């Protein structure tokens, strides 16, 4: 029997299949977070006198046992049980009888789902941050290693000015810093406590929502109970927006690798073990890993729009439409983590070519250097520009292939230390430790 089902009211199997959808499958990922929410809720119920001290101990011990099963991957949602919330309550009722039934006092399945998703997002965003930081550190290291290896810079896919692998790797490192600002915003929105908002209109019980906020390590709570319910969907949308931002960085990097690995560019090489062949062309070494990375990340970039459309025109209050946010959000975290991992693996094995700019085809890269050389000799810029253009046109242009760029962020002054300091500042703003410490105490208490 469902938590919401009335006595002697049958439910059509067809309707149940349609409305439950993928919930039972996806809810397995929410099991440890549902238990954490119930642990905090039990502690709060005892604090306001709705549970005795003995009942609180019994519930916490039973919940910690369920948590261990979830952590070990042996927690299951039984056939005929609607979702993770029903399964956890069923375990408690089987073990503790009426005491197990008391766990639902003062809450609705709506705020259970909300707190589960908040804790899930917070946990998964932490994992994404760890993986993205690892990639950031590698990009900075590669930037420093190859800071003197020159590379053609392009605008409009036309040869433009000298660049370097140091600049190229460093650019993607700094891109991740900006992506982390969005990730931090998503974390802050996920790190607010909705527990106690009930179905969206609070409870007549004297709930202590500040206590559950502290027990679960949230930064603060969603004060307004109506808005707490309205945060469903918004939390997921911000998380997917942050995922999409990181995906955009990886997508652009993947495209560069596809181009630079091709014979026409020939700037870098993927080892044979990272490429695939052709069924008819024995010479082929295809950058499938970069191409699939581009495809997967491009698909992730669409998720904020998908969520925006799902949430369009919903009035306040809960609506079953919101159930589908799980199907968008939860696989997205797995996909971006997979993409970050393969990007790190690919870059850690990439082979950069030296002396690329010695090729005569790149001599016009240095035309701006020639213009600046004349300006430094006192020639007005517009006249120097015209003079070098004439040299190119009449075939008298001779490039000086030495590059002297010293300003902040240029070839000779990458500012990787400053970029790293920015990243350190953003990372410090998450406050991951507080949440981890609170949950550890909750599990040990």
pLDDT band at 327 (very low <50, low <70, confident <90, very high): very high
Strands annotated E in 103-254: 150-155, 158-164, 192-193, 220-221
Q: What is the pLDDT of residue 416?
A: 97
Q: What is the pLDDT of residue 249?
A: 98
Residue of 122, 85, 74, 128 whose CA lies nearest to 323:
85
pLDDT in tens, 165-221: 999 999 999 999 999 999 999 999 999 999 999 999 999 999 999 999 999 999 999
Considering the domain architecture, whether residues 286 and 200 belong to the same structural domain is answered as yes
Considering the domain architecture, whether residues 185 and 233 belong to the same structural domain is answered as yes
How does DSSP classify residue 413? B
Q: Is residue 312 part of a domain?
A: yes
Residues 6+ apart with CB under 8 A from 423: 133, 136, 173, 176, 177, 180
Three-class DSSP category at 428 = helix
For the chain, what is the mean pLDDT? 92
Range 410-431 average pLDDT: 96
Range 233-261 average pLDDT: 97
Q: How many domains does the chain have?
A: 3
pLDDT band at 277 (very low <50, low <70, confident <90, very high): low
Q: Is residue 432 part of a domain?
A: no
How does DSSP classify residue 410? B
Structural domain for 223, as ranges = 109-358
Cα 304-119-325 angle, rounded to 5 deg:
30
How does DSSP classify residue 359? S
Residue of 181, 173, 171 whose CA lies nearest to 138:
173
Considering the domain architecture, whether residues 140 and 288 belong to the same structural domain is answered as yes
Considering the domain architecture, whether residues 100 and 119 belong to the same structural domain is answered as no
Q: Is residue 56 part of a domain?
A: yes
Q: What is the pLDDT of residue 4?
A: 47
Task: Check the CA dihedral 190-195-199-201 and report its sign.
Answer: negative
pLDDT band at 259 (very low <50, low <70, confident <90, very high): very high
Q: What is the pLDDT of residue 28?
A: 92
Last residue of a domain, one of 104, 137, 172: 104
* CATH at 34: 1.10.275.10
pLDDT band at 52 (very low <50, low <70, confident <90, very high): very high
CA distance 252 to 286: 18
Q: What is the pLDDT of residue 6?
A: 53
Q: Yes or no: say if 38 and 63 are a contact pair by the CB < 8 Å rule.
A: yes
Considering the domain architecture, whether residues 155 and 206 belong to the same structural domain is answered as yes
Farthest-apart Cα atoms in the chain, separation? 95
Considering the domain architecture, whether residues 113 and 258 belong to the same structural domain is answered as yes
Q: How many CB atoms lie within 10 A of CB 420?
A: 16
Q: What is the pLDDT of residue 80?
A: 83
Crossing angle of helices 432-444 and 31-47, rounded to 10°: 70
CA distance 54 to 56: 5
Considering the domain architecture, whether residues 339 and 205 belong to the same structural domain is answered as yes
Range 128-134 average pLDDT: 98
Distance from chain centroid for Cα 78:
31
Considering the domain architecture, whether residues 379 and 348 belong to the same structural domain is answered as no
* CATH at 278: 1.20.200.10
Q: What is the pLDDT of residue 286?
A: 78
Q: Is residue 249 part of a domain?
A: yes
Considering the domain architecture, whether residues 348 and 363 belong to the same structural domain is answered as no
Considering the domain architecture, whether residues 339 and 392 belong to the same structural domain is answered as no
Share of the chain above pLDDT 70, in %: 93
Residue of 227, 248, 243 whose CA lies nearest to 328:
243
Q: Two tokens at 411?
A: 């070839």
Long-range CB contacts for residues 282-289, cutoff 8 Å, separation at least 24 = 287/257, 287/258, 287/261, 289/342, 289/346
Q: Is pLDDT of 222 > 80?
A: yes
Q: Is residue 316 part of a domain?
A: yes
pLDDT in tens, 142-169: 999 999 999 999 999 999 999 999 999 9
Three-class DSSP category at 203 = coil
pTM for this prediction: 0.92
Q: Is residue 5 part of a domain?
A: no
Task: Give CA separation, 269 vs 154, 247, 263, 274, 346, in Å.
Answer: 19, 23, 10, 10, 11
Q: What is the pLDDT of residue 19?
A: 63
Last residue of a domain, one of 56, 74, 104: 104
Last residue of a domain, one of 104, 128, 158: 104
Q: Is pLDDT of 5 > 60?
A: no
Q: What is the pLDDT of residue 282?
A: 60
Range 301-326 average pLDDT: 92
Q: Is residue 85 part of a domain?
A: yes
Q: Is residue 437 part of a domain?
A: no
Long-range CB contacts for residues 363-366, cutoff 8 Å, separation at least 24 = 363/397, 363/399, 363/401, 364/159, 364/392, 364/397, 364/399, 365/152, 365/153, 365/159, 365/160, 365/161, 365/162, 365/399, 366/162, 366/399, 366/400, 366/401, 366/403
Considering the domain architecture, whether residues 275 and 406 belong to the same structural domain is answered as no
CA distance 329 to 83: 18
Range 369-383 average pLDDT: 92
pLDDT band at 280 (very low <50, low <70, confident <90, very high): low
Considering the domain architecture, whether residues 69 and 22 belong to the same structural domain is answered as yes
């Amino acid at each position: 029997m469902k938590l919401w089902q009335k006595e002697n009211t049958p439910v059509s199997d067809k309707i149940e299949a349609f409305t439950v959808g993928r919930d039972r499958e996806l809810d397995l990922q929410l099991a440890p977070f549902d238990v954490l929410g119930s642990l905090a809720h039990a502690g709060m119920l005892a604090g306001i006198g709705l549970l005795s001290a003995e009942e609180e101990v019994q519930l916490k011990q039973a919940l910690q046992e369920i948590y261990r099963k979830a952590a070990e991957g042996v927690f299951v949602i039984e056939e005929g049980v609607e979702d993770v919330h029903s399964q956890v309550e069923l375990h408690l009722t089987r073990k503790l009888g009426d005491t197990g039934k008391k766990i639902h006092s003062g809450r609705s399945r709506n705020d259970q789902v909300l707190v589960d998703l908040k804790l899930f997002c917070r946990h998964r965003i932490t994992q994404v941050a760890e993986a993205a930081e690892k990639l950031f550190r590698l990009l900075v290291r590669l930037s420093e290693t190859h800071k003197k290896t020159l590379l053609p810079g392009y605008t409009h896919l036309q040869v433009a000015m000298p660049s370097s692998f140091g600049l190229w790797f460093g650019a993607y490192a700094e891109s991740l810093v900006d992506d982390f600002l969005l990730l931090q915003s998503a974390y802050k929105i996920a790190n607010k406590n909705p527990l106690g908002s009930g179905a969206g209109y609070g409870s007549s019980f004297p709930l202590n929502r500040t206590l559950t906020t502290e027990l679960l390590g949230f930064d603060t709570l969603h004060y307004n109970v109506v808005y707490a319910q309205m945060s469903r969907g918004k939390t997921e949308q911000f998380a997917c927006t942050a995922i999409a931002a990181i995906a955009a960085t990886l997508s652009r990097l993947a495209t560069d690798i596809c181009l630079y690995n091709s014979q026409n560019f020939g700037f870098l090489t993927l080892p044979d073990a990272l490429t695939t062949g052709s069924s008819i062309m024995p010479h082929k070494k295809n950058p499938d890993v970069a191409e699939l990375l581009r495809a997967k990340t491009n698909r992730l970039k669409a998720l904020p729009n998908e969520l925006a459309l799902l949430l369009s025109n919903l009035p306040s209050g809960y609506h079953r439409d919101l159930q589908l946010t799980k199907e968008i959000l939860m696989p997205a975290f797995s996909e971006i983590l997979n993409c970050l991992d393969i990007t790190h693996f690919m870059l850690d094995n990439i082979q950069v070519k030296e002396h690329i700019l010695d090729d005569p085809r790149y001599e016009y890269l240095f035309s701006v250097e020639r213009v600046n050389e004349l300006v430094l000799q006192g020639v007005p810029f517009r006249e120097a520009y015209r003079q070098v253009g004439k040299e190119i046109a009449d075939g008298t242009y001779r490039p000086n292939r030495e590059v002297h760029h010293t300003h902040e962020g240029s070839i000779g002054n990458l500012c990787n230390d400053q970029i790293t300091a920015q990243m350190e500042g953003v990372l410090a703003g998450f406050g991951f430790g507080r949440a981890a410490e609170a949950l550890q105490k909750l599990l040990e208490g």
